[in-house]
A and B are shown apart, each in its own frame.
Chain A
Amino acid sequence: MSKQYYMGLEGVGQWQQAIKQVGAQLRPYQDFLKTAIEAEKERKLVLGWRKPEKEEEKIFEERLEQRYQQKLERAKNARKRRNRKKPVKPSGQWIVLEPPPWRQEEPDDTFDAFLNCTEVYDDESCRKDFFIRKVDFDREGRAILLDELPDGDLIWLRPNTYTLDRQLHAVWDLENKPSSRLAPLVRLTSTSPIWSDVDVHEIADGDWMFLKTKNDSPVREGTDEQRRFVAIAMATPDFALLEGPPGSGKTTAICELIAQLVLQGKRILLVASTHVAVDNVLERLLEHQDDHSDESLFLPVRIGDEGRVTSDGIIPWIYKNLLHTWRSELLDFLDDPGDIDPAGNEARNHLRRTLKGKEGAASIERLILESANVVCGTTIGILQHPAIKASRNGQSSEPFDIMILDEASKTTFTEFLVPALHAKRWVVVGDIKQLSPYVEESELADNLRGLISDKQASAAVHAFLAAPGPQRHPFLRTLLATDENNHEIAVAEASARNAHFIDLNSCSEISLNGIDGCIPELLYADLVIGNAGVINSFEHRLPIDLQAVGGELPALPGWEAARQAYRTSEGKRRKRRIFEEDEPIWGSEMAWRLIRSYELRQNKDERKNYEDQIQALIPKALEENDRSDKRRLRNGESPQDALLREIRTVRRVALPSILELLQTGFERLEKQRDAVALTDGLPAQHLRKRLVSLSFQHRMHPHISAFSRDQFYTKVEPLSDREAELHKIMESSSLLRDSKAVLSAWEWSYSRYAKRALWIDVNPKGGGKRRGNINTSEADIVLKELLAFVKWAKDNPRKDRQKWEVAILTFYRGQESELRERLQEITGQYGNSRNFHLPKGKATVHITLCTVDRFQGHEADVVFLSFVKSGTTGFLNSPNRLNVALTRARYQIVLIGHQTYFKEQNKSQLLKELANSKHYASDISWG
């Protein structure tokens, strides 16, 4: 029984208590994931598509041909006849993937899902008769090759809940099968945990491999911190944490840790949220191995698709490639071993029989996976690991000695849990000041939707949007159709919020200026409430700019006809957009505000606005039994308090990263009596023994790091006891200190800018167009600056003779599309979406176009950052996002945005400080 598992757990108190506490802490995660899975089943991914331009298609075909020729070459050179089979050249119809027309900000994950799929559907039903086989894809061009062209403008994918299923299963496994090695994970939920001391593993000076000394002194500042982390991570009985600001040497520290562990014969699972983070480590390990061929320490296996791997050197180590090539290579050898010791004949025959038998594939799979000492993949990709797949069927596999999670700030607790259950100890690496986990808004919304009844939700959201306040949209006017069940609630909610509303059921006509039968409120009310019959009787008096909502709306042909006429008239574009917006849903309105308030958790002043709105969205007329499963009220708690508590629980489950949970905790609920590490972070005295902060940065020129250091990494007055404790743990007064080497390392002769960090003020009204999230004025400047740099770079190669790396970053996908089109135009590389090379012919500059969110973990010599927004701050005020955006450049960062607006606006103090910062003050060199 489960009790036997709990009886064997150490450091979690009495088993009876532990099993109850695990249940209490993990249940919200399970509930969340179950609802999210149901939401995901309904959420069919959809994209638009277009036929490629001739130029684009030519490039796709060229690249396809290149890949085909490589396969052909491999087949020709194969030693065995079975591998000489000529590959079939794929053919079909290319289509370029586009965001759906109504959502330009479609996440990259959606595109990835289409690129990685095996079939698409040209009907939302995803029935078999709408099936189209995907033959090949071009990742760079964001295009797929299909058997035939789809009908219509959209293509769909069948819902895939595998990732969420794995997370749910992992939570279930931790609750029901917590083996003794998983005690530290259970301890995170315990109110009486006993954390062990951490010894430090001593490593002799001469034994460091990546953190070697030169002339008896560490290579660079911060090496001591990296070494201390390795020493702790080697010895920790449970967790070790490495906090590393951008460019602080996290990858080097991870490489050293892996090397030291491998020397001890340990098996390591390396996981990160991005491919580049995984591949950076792996590439460094392989380089080291190549340089020290006598050591042969690492036998890596990379789980993932070849198309996603970011380095060619890693391709041979991809699991699928190993499976295929090793079996062939081995059989070749065993068929003809040559002149070797005949004493080994029986062993060779034994292996040969095995590989040729039914179990051959399984044998080679085991040989690879059990022998490998570094298995790595992304948090999603690692789900394809055979052991993780097999755990679905209850099969156990031998756990890894240690799991290293890089970029842990982007990994939620449940994402972490999936691979974590396959390890004995955990090393969590990241920076809580960088981007947080991506959360699918619809999953959060569906979870929230279940917290109150539909009628309460509908009444609350329409009243909330109609009430005075910052959430009020100036053009939104709503017609809410009710019935006898929800009419009173709708009126009560509107009334409680002082919304400008009119209740058609009870309104009275008055005489105005001698005209009888007037209802003046009807002219200005933001919310018109009435039941179906009454609305029907008002059909010809209803204002035509109302957005009609509510399930009971009667047929109003006359009103619709008037609206249609209005919709097609000139000069009403803005209002027309209002009409076309989806009906507001309480769960969705609550969800995006929760996400925004979370993004602003380091920016408490600006967060308050969203927190207030969340509070305001709580139904005022909420009753204890407003839903089928009666809400449980704790002592003295009102139904509103209880709902807010439940909402916070959903937020706590859905949003924070594992790194944040362990390091700082996240929103311990007011009524939660006792602390547990999952909500309060590891106890300070134990965190101190497990956490190392890297305080020096080696990436950026000091001008570039200055603002982030001052703003995000320097100790400020602690806002809570916990923060005060954390400050004590951080030995240095600030992180992101510049190492001495960076100043000399990033010397160059580019004189266009007098400073390495500056802001070019671009007023969008100065001639350019600005629509949606596109700012053409900024795009003009980006291109201008880029071309100036390319011109200089032509005669000024990088010190290492590699191409200069330029990143064009923006916060919005709309702007990314605009920049993509322009880059395609100036480079002529129409088939590319992300990577471009200039000048034409002999390129000296490699340009990467990317959103800020996707660029975490990457760096570039020069960064051009386009802000897009003016007149509003959008989500630019997220400290984490801004921090990532500002810390990618080595030599130069150029901020391109409406600096004057940001200087003067009062919506975001953070952006105001950025715009006014002396670190980005413009200089006379630019022009």
Chain B
Amino acid sequence: MIKLRRKVDIQTFEVEGTIARGQERPEFLAVVRLAADLGRPINGEDVVRELLGNLPSQIGWRVIERCIQLGLLERDGNKGSATLSDAGRKALEEDMILVPEEGLWRIYFAEDPLLDSPVVHIERFEGVKAYEERNKLYNGNGNRDTDTRIPPQISRALSQTEFFTSIVNGNLFQILELAKSGFKAETKEIYLLLEWPKDGEPSVMLRGKLNRHVSQKGLLEVDHKLQLPLNLEELSYEDLWIKLAAHGSGQEESLIQRYFDEERVLILPTPFDRTLGESEKLTMKKDISVSSISLTSYTESRVAFWQPAEEGKDFNLGRFDETILHQVDLVPMNDDEATKWCQWLQMQAIKSYQTPESLEQTRKEVMKRFPYHQPNPKKSQELLEIAMENSKSSVSRFLLAPYDLGLWRD
């Protein structure tokens, strides 16, 4: 499993405005349903004939007009007729209509490449009384609370058509109109987690807690699964693993990639030297610490692990905190290294009295651990010679004793 994490600064801006939130409006949903089911532009006469029979004719036209105002229908251009809009379709899916509400809003926003939109949540709040504000001003407090123009991240979100999903409750909302200035409140950190099981689908989560407006009690719990960015869908687990492994180990990415291309395995070529601990040499596995990494495109790469979503736009997962790739399979860098490793493993395997037959058995087993190399392991006689040369070594006695007892036969 690949686990990547980073902090996301959620900024807040308090401003007056009109934001549409989901409400049940079955009477208008029926009109939307009609437009969907008829599958053609509808006009006021259609609405009266098909849905509101017996009511005055102008009600049909006004209902169409109202649905257009609510964004559920789009004007067709043909004398007042209208067709189903994306918002209308969405409303049918959600069984809700976004209805404009005027008031004071605390808008939570962040900049992160994995967020579809910078605006991640809105909370309506009631202000304290004006006289309390005045008292603060008269007492010399409050003068420093300067008004700020709307941050660009939020202005970009102002639209009649774009929907946002709250990371707190998953509800849809739409920012329709905001005053030009408001109050920049505090910033709070939450975490973005990208988790990718080896044989599963990746997921991107936001987790943490957000403050509410001072007049409101409690914290807002965030545990929200983000929609996967389109360009993440183009990325494979292996691509990302290779990138991380290379970054963590300092190994050339092309080398790791080559193993994957040729052998379809995710392994890390590693020099057989002091950098490896004894257990890592034995298990041929290692936890790889990956320092903070920015996963962005570099188009000159031979193997691009991403596919640009749009022409001219590079893939960008953003910078993650340091992480660990657990129990990465290791392989030697080449046959010589493999031979050294192999012979070292042969020696490590001698933990009891050995005969040439048992040593041969061990050799075969050790050889199996180097499927991608041709190491040259020691033969039993060579091992015996080494033991004879270093007779005081603790391993030597496991070979010399059986030899002295005549258990070694030609």
Contact = CB atoms under 8 A, between A and B. Distances in A.
B69 A176 contact: no
A359 B30 CA distance: 14
Given A20-B134, A347-B33, A370-B66, A3 B145 contact: yes
Given A7-B183, A179-B102, A364-B27, A2 B50 contact: no
B327 to A, nearest CB: 53
Main secondary structure on A side of the interface with B: helix
A179 B103 contact: yes
A179 B178 CA distance: 10
Contact of A333 (B17, B52, B134): B52
Contacts of B180: 8, 10, 180
Report, nearest first, the 6 A-B pairs whose CB atoms are least far apart: A8-B179, A333-B53, A7-B147, A347-B34, A351-B30, A296-B58
B51 interface: yes
B126 interface: yes
A299 B62 contact: yes
Interface stretch (B37-45, B350-358, B375-383): B37-45
Contacts of A746: none
Nearest to B70: A370
Given A4-B182, A16-B137, A396-B102, A348 B30 contact: yes
A104 interface: no
A19 B80 CA distance: 45
A350 B29 contact: yes
B170 interface: no
Contact of A396 (B59, B103, B134, B145): B103
A341 B183 CA distance: 54
Contacts of A344: 34, 37-38, 50-51
Contact of A2 (B33, B129, B182, B214): B129
B130 A23 contact: yes
B275 interface: no
Interface in B16-68: 16-17, 24-31, 33-34, 37-39, 44, 49-59, 61-63, 65-66, 68
Interface in A282-307: 289, 296-299
Given A8-B182, A330-B52, A373-B62, A354 B131 contact: no
A345 B104 CA distance: 41
Contacts of B405: none
A23 B52 contact: no
A299 B30 contact: no
A15 interface: yes
B143 interface: yes
Given A3-B183, A330-B55, A364-B27, 18 more contacts: A1-B132, A4-B16, A7-B148, A7-B181, A8-B16, A20-B137, A179-B102, A180-B177, A297-B58, A299-B58, A299-B61, A344-B51, A347-B37, A347-B51, A350-B30, A354-B30, A367-B27, A373-B62
A265 B69 contact: yes
Contacts of B129: 2, 176
B25 A4 contact: no
Interface of A: 1-10, 15-16, 19-20, 22-23, 175-177, 179-181, 265, 289, 296-299, 326, 329-330, 332-334, 337-338, 340-341, 343-348, 350-351, 353-354, 359, 363-364, 366-367, 370-373, 394, 396, 398-399
Given A20-B137, A176-B129, A329-B55, A8 B181 contact: yes
B15 interface: yes
12 contacts: A2-B130, A3-B145, A7-B179, A10-B180, A23-B131, A176-B130, A177-B104, A265-B65, A338-B53, A340-B53, A350-B30, A371-B59
Contact of B143 (A9, A16, A299, A363): A16
Nearest to B124: A396
B104 A5 contact: yes
B14 A341 contact: no
Contacts of B126: 394
A3 B57 CA distance: 46
A175 to B, nearest CB: 5
Contacts of B30: 347-348, 350-351, 354
B181 A176 contact: no
Contact of A15 (B25, B54, B104, B147): B147
B142 interface: yes
Contacts of B179: 7-10, 179-180
B133 interface: yes
Contact of A346 (B27, B37, B54, B148): B37
Interface in B132-190: 132-134, 137, 142-143, 145, 147-148, 177-183
B308 interface: no
A345 B134 CA distance: 58
Contacts of B37: 343-347
Contacts of B56: 299
Interface size class of B (residues with CB under 8 A): 35 or more
Nearest to B16: A8
A631 B342 CA distance: 101
B128 A366 contact: no
B62 A371 contact: yes
Nearest to B100: A398
A8 B62 CA distance: 32
Contacts of B17: 8, 180
Nearest to A332: B54
A394 B181 CA distance: 23
A299 B52 CA distance: 15
B40 to A, nearest CB: 10
B261 interface: no
B16 A354 contact: no
Contacts of B66: 370-371
A343 B26 CA distance: 18
B130 A19 contact: yes
B101 interface: yes
Contacts of B104: 1, 4-5, 177
B318 interface: no
A763 B31 CA distance: 72
B197 interface: no
Contacts of B38: 341, 343-344
A343 B24 CA distance: 23
Given A5-B16, A363-B26, A371-B63, A341 B50 contact: yes
B127 interface: yes
A371 B34 CA distance: 17
Nearest to B126: A394
Contact of A399 (B33, B44, B102): B102
Nearest to B105: A4
A7 to B, nearest CB: 4
Contacts of B100: 398
B183 A4 contact: yes
Given A296-B58, A354-B27, A348 B51 contact: yes
A368 B271 CA distance: 79
A176 B104 CA distance: 11
B133 A3 contact: yes
A347 B100 CA distance: 24
Contacts of B62: 299, 371-373
Contacts of A179: 16, 102-103, 179
Given A19-B130, A344-B37, A396-B101, A351 B51 contact: yes
Given A180-B179, A344-B51, A348-B30, A4 B134 contact: no
Contacts of B15: 4, 7-8
A262 to B, nearest CB: 10
Contacts of A23: 130-131, 134
A214 B128 CA distance: 58
Contacts of B128: 1-2
B13 to A, nearest CB: 9
Given A298-B58, A373-B62, A5 B52 contact: no
Candidate in B66, B99, B131 with the most chain A CB atoms within 10 angstroms: B66
B51 A19 contact: no
A370 B134 CA distance: 37
A24 to B, nearest CB: 9
A343 to B, nearest CB: 5
